[in-house]
Amino acid sequence: MQKLFDSEIKVMEIIWENEPVSAKEVSLIATERIGWNKNTTYTIIKKLESKGFIKREDPGFICTSVYSQSQIQKSEANSLVDKLFGGSKKALFSSLLEDEKLSDDELAELKAMIEKR
C-alpha cells in the first residue's frame, strides 16, 4: 500500500465520515473545515483515485473508499514502527509510555488489550 500524505489523510477522513459522498460535497466540507479551495480538494481527490485509495463513479463524481479507516491506520502505524523504531513495537510502546502519565483505568485497558492477544 502506498503512503498517504497528511493532506490526503484529511480528505480520506471526510470521505470515511460521509461516504458515499460527491466530490463537490467533499470540497465544501474541506473548505469549511480546513479552508481549502475547490481546486486543491479536487487535486487531492484525483491523487487518491490514481493511488487506488478511492473510486469515483458517475453521475456526480461519487467518492467511496477502497480501504477502511482501520486498514489505513494499521498500515500507517506499521510504517511508522518500521521507519522510526526498526520494526520494534516494544520500542514504540516504550517511547509512548515513557513520558505519558496514564490513569489506572487507562493502564488496565492497555493491559486487557495485551492479554487479549
Give residue-wise pLDDT tens across range 6-43: 999 999 999 999 999 999 999 999 999 999 999 999 99
Within this chain, do residues 80 and 103 fall inside the same structural domain, yes or no?
no
Q: What is the CATH number of the domain that holds 55?
A: 1.10.10.10
pTM for this prediction:
0.80
Measured distance CA(49)–CA(66) in Å, rounded = 9
Cβ-based neighbours of 81, under 8 Å, separated by 6 or more: 87, 88, 89, 92
pLDDT confidence band for 101 (50 / 70 / 90):
confident
Cβ-based neighbours of 64, under 8 Å, separated by 6 or more: 15, 19, 20, 54, 55, 57
Within this chain, do residues 70 and 100 fall inside the same structural domain, yes or no?
no
Grid coordinates given for 92: 514504540
DSSP 66: S
In tens, the pLDDT along 102-116 reads 788 988 888 898 898
Within this chain, do residues 11 and 48 fall inside the same structural domain, yes or no?
yes
Please give the C-alpha separations between residue 57 and each of 34, 96, 101, in angstroms, as whole numbers.
25, 41, 47
